[in-house]
Amino acid sequence: MATSSETLAFLREVRLFAALADPDLLAVAELLRERTLRRRQVLFRERDRGDEMFIVRRGTMLVSKEITGKVEQVLVRVEAGDFFGEMSLLDGSPRSASVQADTDATLLVLGRESLQVLTDHAPHAAAVFFYSMVQVFIERLRRSTLQVAEATRWGLEATGLDVETR
Protein backbone atom coordinates (compact mmCIF):
# COMPACT_ATOMS: atom_id res chain seq x y z
CA MET A 1 0.00 0.00 0.00
CA ALA A 2 1.20 3.54 -0.58
CA THR A 3 2.46 4.84 2.72
CA SER A 4 1.02 8.21 3.65
CA SER A 5 2.20 10.53 6.40
CA GLU A 6 -1.17 9.86 8.06
CA THR A 7 -0.43 6.11 8.13
CA LEU A 8 3.03 6.69 9.58
CA ALA A 9 1.59 9.01 12.24
CA PHE A 10 -0.96 6.33 13.15
CA LEU A 11 1.68 3.59 13.34
CA ARG A 12 3.84 5.73 15.64
CA GLU A 13 0.95 5.57 18.13
CA VAL A 14 0.64 1.77 17.93
CA ARG A 15 2.50 0.24 20.85
CA LEU A 16 3.91 -2.55 18.72
CA PHE A 17 5.74 -0.03 16.53
CA ALA A 18 6.55 2.67 19.10
CA ALA A 19 10.23 1.68 19.41
CA LEU A 20 10.88 1.67 15.66
CA ALA A 21 13.02 4.45 14.18
CA ASP A 22 11.50 6.24 11.19
CA PRO A 23 13.34 4.20 8.49
CA ASP A 24 12.29 0.94 10.20
CA LEU A 25 8.72 2.15 10.62
CA LEU A 26 8.61 3.01 6.91
CA ALA A 27 9.92 -0.48 6.07
CA VAL A 28 7.06 -2.01 8.08
CA ALA A 29 4.43 0.38 6.75
CA GLU A 30 5.28 -0.48 3.16
CA LEU A 31 4.47 -4.14 3.86
CA LEU A 32 1.00 -3.53 5.33
CA ARG A 33 -2.17 -3.72 3.31
CA GLU A 34 -5.51 -2.22 4.23
CA ARG A 35 -8.77 -4.13 4.65
CA THR A 36 -12.19 -2.70 5.41
CA LEU A 37 -15.13 -4.45 7.06
CA ARG A 38 -18.74 -3.53 7.56
CA ARG A 39 -20.39 -3.67 10.97
CA ARG A 40 -21.04 -7.31 12.01
CA GLN A 41 -18.90 -8.68 9.15
CA VAL A 42 -16.93 -11.75 10.24
CA LEU A 43 -13.18 -11.52 9.59
CA PHE A 44 -12.50 -15.14 10.54
CA ARG A 45 -13.90 -17.95 12.66
CA GLU A 46 -12.27 -19.98 15.39
CA ARG A 47 -10.29 -22.89 13.87
CA ASP A 48 -9.92 -21.18 10.46
CA ARG A 49 -6.44 -21.32 8.99
CA GLY A 50 -4.51 -18.10 9.24
CA ASP A 51 -1.17 -16.48 8.57
CA GLU A 52 -1.89 -12.78 9.14
CA MET A 53 -2.14 -10.36 12.01
CA PHE A 54 -4.31 -7.26 12.06
CA ILE A 55 -3.93 -3.77 13.47
CA VAL A 56 -7.18 -1.86 13.99
CA ARG A 57 -6.86 1.52 12.31
CA ARG A 58 -10.49 2.58 12.71
CA GLY A 59 -13.46 0.99 14.43
CA THR A 60 -13.84 -1.80 16.95
CA MET A 61 -13.50 -5.57 16.55
CA LEU A 62 -14.98 -8.27 18.79
CA VAL A 63 -12.91 -11.34 19.65
CA SER A 64 -15.06 -14.26 20.83
CA LYS A 65 -14.62 -17.89 21.79
CA GLU A 66 -17.07 -20.71 21.17
CA ILE A 67 -18.31 -22.06 24.50
CA THR A 68 -20.86 -24.59 23.26
CA GLY A 69 -22.53 -25.21 19.89
CA LYS A 70 -24.13 -21.83 19.26
CA VAL A 71 -22.94 -19.94 22.36
CA GLU A 72 -19.99 -17.61 22.03
CA GLN A 73 -18.38 -15.50 24.75
CA VAL A 74 -16.89 -12.14 23.82
CA LEU A 75 -13.35 -12.15 25.19
CA VAL A 76 -12.26 -8.66 24.27
CA ARG A 77 -13.07 -5.59 22.20
CA VAL A 78 -10.12 -4.53 20.10
CA GLU A 79 -9.98 -0.77 19.54
CA ALA A 80 -8.03 1.45 17.16
CA GLY A 81 -4.30 1.08 17.77
CA ASP A 82 -4.57 -2.48 19.11
CA PHE A 83 -3.76 -5.68 17.25
CA PHE A 84 -4.76 -9.34 17.11
CA GLY A 85 -4.05 -12.49 15.12
CA GLU A 86 -0.34 -12.57 15.88
CA MET A 87 -0.28 -16.23 16.94
CA SER A 88 -1.33 -17.45 13.48
CA LEU A 89 1.06 -14.96 11.88
CA LEU A 90 3.97 -16.54 13.69
CA ASP A 91 3.10 -20.24 13.74
CA GLY A 92 0.37 -20.76 11.15
CA SER A 93 -1.87 -22.39 13.75
CA PRO A 94 -5.64 -22.35 13.35
CA ARG A 95 -7.35 -19.27 14.74
CA SER A 96 -7.93 -19.56 18.50
CA ALA A 97 -11.02 -17.33 18.45
CA SER A 98 -13.50 -15.71 16.08
CA VAL A 99 -13.32 -12.05 15.14
CA GLN A 100 -15.98 -9.80 13.69
CA ALA A 101 -16.43 -6.08 13.23
CA ASP A 102 -18.42 -4.43 16.02
CA THR A 103 -18.50 -1.23 13.92
CA ASP A 104 -17.43 -0.39 10.41
CA ALA A 105 -13.68 -0.95 10.60
CA THR A 106 -10.42 -0.46 8.77
CA LEU A 107 -7.60 -2.88 9.48
CA LEU A 108 -3.95 -2.93 8.52
CA VAL A 109 -2.83 -6.47 7.63
CA LEU A 110 0.62 -7.99 8.04
CA GLY A 111 0.99 -11.42 6.44
CA ARG A 112 3.64 -14.06 6.99
CA GLU A 113 5.26 -13.45 3.58
CA SER A 114 5.54 -9.74 4.37
CA LEU A 115 7.05 -10.54 7.74
CA GLN A 116 9.65 -12.68 5.98
CA VAL A 117 10.44 -9.79 3.63
CA LEU A 118 10.90 -7.54 6.66
CA THR A 119 13.21 -10.09 8.30
CA ASP A 120 15.28 -10.46 5.12
CA HIS A 121 15.50 -6.81 4.07
CA ALA A 122 15.21 -4.85 7.32
CA PRO A 123 16.52 -7.15 10.06
CA HIS A 124 16.85 -4.35 12.61
CA ALA A 125 13.20 -3.39 12.13
CA ALA A 126 12.22 -7.06 12.43
CA ALA A 127 14.23 -7.46 15.65
CA VAL A 128 12.58 -4.42 17.26
CA PHE A 129 9.15 -5.63 16.07
CA PHE A 130 9.70 -9.12 17.54
CA TYR A 131 10.99 -7.70 20.83
CA SER A 132 7.88 -5.51 21.14
CA MET A 133 5.68 -8.48 20.33
CA VAL A 134 7.34 -10.61 23.03
CA GLN A 135 6.65 -7.88 25.59
CA VAL A 136 2.96 -7.91 24.65
CA PHE A 137 2.88 -11.73 24.78
CA ILE A 138 4.28 -11.68 28.30
CA GLU A 139 1.67 -9.17 29.45
CA ARG A 140 -1.13 -11.19 27.86
CA LEU A 141 0.17 -14.43 29.40
CA ARG A 142 0.30 -12.84 32.86
CA ARG A 143 -3.23 -11.53 32.45
CA SER A 144 -4.43 -14.98 31.31
CA THR A 145 -2.71 -16.64 34.28
CA LEU A 146 -4.54 -14.31 36.66
CA GLN A 147 -7.85 -15.02 34.90
CA VAL A 148 -7.33 -18.79 35.20
CA ALA A 149 -6.54 -18.42 38.91
CA GLU A 150 -9.70 -16.34 39.44
CA ALA A 151 -11.86 -18.78 37.47
CA THR A 152 -10.46 -21.67 39.49
CA ARG A 153 -11.14 -19.86 42.76
CA TRP A 154 -14.71 -19.07 41.66
CA GLY A 155 -15.22 -22.71 40.67
CA LEU A 156 -13.99 -23.91 44.04
CA GLU A 157 -16.23 -21.45 45.87
CA ALA A 158 -19.21 -22.51 43.73
CA THR A 159 -18.67 -26.15 44.71
CA GLY A 160 -18.44 -25.22 48.39
CA LEU A 161 -14.85 -26.35 48.78
CA ASP A 162 -12.72 -24.53 51.35
CA VAL A 163 -10.55 -21.98 49.56
CA GLU A 164 -9.27 -20.12 52.59
CA THR A 165 -5.55 -19.51 52.61
CA ARG A 166 -3.37 -20.23 55.58
The CATH number of the domain holding residue 102 is 2.60.120.10
Distances (CA, A) of 69 to 6, 65, 72, 77, 87: 43, 11, 8, 22, 24
Is 164 part of a structural domain of the chain?
A: no
Query: CB neighbours (10 Å) of residue 143?
Result: 10
Is 123 part of a structural domain of the chain?
A: yes
Please check the confidence at residue 2 and state whether its pLDDT lies above 70. no
Query: CB neighbours (10 Å) of residue 149?
Result: 10
- Alpha-carbon distance of 27 to 118, in angstroms, equals 7
Is 79 part of a structural domain of the chain?
A: yes
Is 16 part of a structural domain of the chain?
A: yes
Q: What is the pLDDT of residue 11?
A: 94
- Alpha-carbon distance of 43 to 30, in angstroms, equals 22
Is 31 part of a structural domain of the chain?
A: yes
- pTM score > 0.75 for this model? yes
* Among 81-90, 111-120, 150-159, the least confident range: 150-159
Please check the confidence at residue 1 and state whether its pLDDT lies above 80. no
Please check the confidence at residue 79 and state whether its pLDDT lies above 90. yes
Structural domain count, the chain: 1
pLDDT tens column, 23-45: 999 999 999 999 999 999 999 99
Mean predicted confidence (pLDDT) in 92-118:
94
Q: Which domain holds residue 134?
A: 5-159
Mean predicted confidence (pLDDT) in 45-54:
93
Is 96 part of a structural domain of the chain?
A: yes
Please check the confidence at residue 166 and state whether its pLDDT lies above 70. no
Is 115 part of a structural domain of the chain?
A: yes
Mean predicted confidence (pLDDT) in 75-80:
93
Is 165 part of a structural domain of the chain?
A: no
